[in-house]
Amino acid sequence: MTLDQPESRCSITGLPDAATFSEQTEQLLEFCTRTHANALMLFITFDTSVSEINGQQNDLALKAIAKRLLSKARDSDIYAHLGEMNFANLTIETSEKHTPILIEKLKIELAQPITLMDGSSIKLNTKVGLAEYPKQGKSYAELIEVARKNTQTL
């Protein structure tokens, strides 16, 4: 996907940031409109506070999450780090089974503990919210709002 503006990425995770993700989402939604495709927005967050670990280890946790998200991504998926412990995904639905399969893959991958630099590990409780395009929203703002409101623990 070609962007009119340079792509901006999170320096910790390497994923697109919120502004870039918004732009990429709007472009993918234009494609979906032209091709009558359905898309799915996921809002992924973690409810376990990591404030008890230092900043360097927090960065390690964010990197591990990004790596795990990308390990299950298709070439057409767009993942982003929206700040703090919040991530998002936009994917084109290819079948009725696409969403349950994607959620199950994420559930398995994100359930694994993250090993920190001191050898200890933390388990982050994952919450995911879904929003379907065009049924639940027709823009980035509408979809991300619905997905945030619909978060449930995996």
Residue 16: asked if its preceding bond is cis (omega within 30°), the reply is no
Express each pLDDT in 85-101 by its tens digit. 899 999 999 888 988 99
pLDDT at position 144 over 80:
yes
| pLDDT, averaged across the chain | 88
Domains of the chain (ranges, CATH numbers)? 18-153 (3.30.70.270)
* Residue (of 124, 148, 128) closest to 50 by Cα position: 124
Q: Which residues contact 112 (CB under 8 A, 6 or more apart)?
A: 68
- State the pTM of this model: 0.88
